Amino acid sequence: MNAAIAIGIIAGFILLNAIIIKIFHKKQGNMEEFAVGGRSFPWFLSVFGFIGSWYVGSMYTGFFGDSATIGMFAQYLAVYSVGTMVTMYIMVRPVWIWGKLHNLQTNADLVALRYNSKWLGLFIAITTFVFWSPWLVVEIKTLGYLFNAATYNTLPFNLGMTVISLFVIVYCWLGGSRATIIGDLVQGLFFTVVGSITMIYLLNKAYGGIGAMFTQLAEQAPQLLVINEQVGYGGWSSAIITGALGGMMMPGIFIRLYMSKGVKESKKSVLFVPLIGALFTILLLWLGLGAKLVNGFPQDAQAGAFWIADHFGGPVAVGLMGIFALAASMSTISAATMTAAVMIGRNFLGLFKLPEERIFKYSRMLTLVVGVIAILVSTMEISRLVALILYVYDCIAQVAVPILLGLYWRRATTAGAFSGTLIGMVTVLFHGSLPWLTAWAGDWSAGMVGLFYNLILFVGVSLLTAKQAHVDQLFEQLENYRDEEDEAGVAAADIKLAK
């Protein structure tokens, strides 16, 4: 009976998604419409588009478990969520304007334009794609764990994982970015608004409130309220800084930046996304932080969120917890699948000088291909996949140096961007076999050391190489652009440049 209630709640949520996506479906006629929704989305859709591509279902498993076992360190997720506001604000205006004027659709498009180098764009496309794509497998696997736990282990792991993943992949294939954004809106409202209310309810039922929980922790498990010596405050700070930078360098974020209908709409998103995300994240992590105070909490802390939901809220709470986690995973899967298909179409097949119509056709089909391959990979036993993701996450953060500085510093050159990014990634990937690279940095992470080397080399090489001739024209476009929500603004910028 309990399983039937939980399954019914989850099935109802999936049906609601299907109905809303169908109602707002719009046929995709070209690559710009498919990839970035014709750059037409208002701020509130952009908010949930960002949240959907950013917050992952594994928060309810791995990260919840970390909060229960290692305590305060896991709270870095909420802190860096606020830090991303700064990174987003830096990126919004130039990325959107250049995207509009030059039909940019991926992070590689932006890099190729700014540094006038398709090969540097391809390097960024390959590295960020390789380092980001494991998240797709993790989230599909997470669907299996979540569906299994939320249905009281009544349905096979791979069945739930495959059915729900295929549902997400099919609506991405049919509806493109518009379908992913509408899906993100539905899913995001559930796991932020309804999810936050549920977390507050469970916090009160389990601990008597947030204040009471911290009082109990201070008395019974004070070690959970400090950063342990093994990690160190340098490690904690590193996680926050690289998270604030790397979180905004994932390929899916750039597609979301291009989707807004104007700079003003994007800036509104900047104000809401991190605050909504941080509030929701901290409530979930605090629910996990005090979990070991509850008698009977399972040894496998990754299943703890569902155990607490069942223990204090019954099958309805379990079904809701399943919805929140499924919503987060579905949003991430849709963003990753769409982005992968667009990047392969634009930045890999585009090298063969194919017409835009064929790239559009292939990109749509690639949505299915990428999704099915990811599902097949997810059925395999892959050990330490999450550890691998966290390891290479610091590599994605390295592209923040050439992208963020390239948006504002005219002297940044291709040679500086390539050499800096390469040394940063090499530092992250090989610091274990070459310990002298990071030995001097104490408990600061390899990602932070890589960013240090990256910045020094980027600035030094850029100053030693010739300024690129096309850069002044790009920056004049930013200076001349005035009305970011009116097509006349684009025309006016182009006329001024022509004169």
Q: Mention every residue, 6+ apart, whose C-beta is less than 8 A from residue 188.
A: 47, 48, 51, 52, 327, 331
pLDDT for the residue numbered 386: 57
Instruction: Check if the beta carbon of residue 21 is closer than 8 Å to that of residue 231.
Output: no
Q: Is residue 51 part of a domain?
A: yes
Average confidence (pLDDT) over 6-10 = 80
- Convert the pLDDT of each residue in 211-244 to its tens digit: 999 999 999 989 888 887 766 778 888 888 888 8
Highest mean pLDDT among 83-87, 319-323, 383-387 belongs to 319-323
Domain range for 98: 2-384
Residue 496 has pLDDT above 60, yes or no: no
What is the chain's length? 499
Q: Which residue has the higher pLDDT, 392 or 493?
A: 392
Q: Is residue 82 part of a domain?
A: yes
Work out the burial of residue 222: count CB atoms within 10 Å of its CB; fewer than 13 is exposed, 13-18 middle, 19 or more buried. exposed
Task: pLDDT band for 203, please (50, 70, 90 cuts).
Answer: very high
Partners of 260 in beta bridges: 41
Q: Is residue 457 part of a domain?
A: no
Q: Is residue 64 part of a domain?
A: yes
Average confidence (pLDDT) over 392-398 = 86
pLDDT for the residue numbered 239: 85
Specify the number of domains making up the chain: 1
pLDDT for the residue numbered 36: 84
Average confidence (pLDDT) over 475-488 = 72
Q: Is residue 434 part of a domain?
A: no
Average confidence (pLDDT) over 255-281 = 81
Work out the burial of residue 294: count CB atoms within 10 Å of its CB; fewer than 13 is exposed, 13-18 middle, 19 or more buried. middle
Residue 389 has pLDDT above 90, yes or no: no
CATH number at residue 151: 1.20.1730.10
pTM listed for this prediction: 0.86
pLDDT for the residue numbered 412: 97
Distance CA(269)–CA(264), nearest Å, equals 9
- Convert the pLDDT of each residue in 86-110 to its tens digit: 888 889 899 999 999 999 999 999 9
Q: Which of 36-40, 65-69, 371-375, 443-447 has the lowest mean pLDDT?
A: 36-40
Distance CA(179)–CA(59), nearest Å, equals 24
Q: Tell me the Ramachandran region of residue 466: left when phi exceeds 0, alpha when psi lies from -120 to 50, beta otherwise.
A: beta
Q: Is residue 264 part of a domain?
A: yes
pLDDT for the residue numbered 230: 67
Q: 108: closest CA among 280, 303, 355, 345?
A: 345
Q: Is residue 454 part of a domain?
A: no
Residue 492 has pLDDT above 80, yes or no: no
Residue 326 has pLDDT above 60, yes or no: yes
Distance CA(337)–CA(329), nearest Å, equals 12
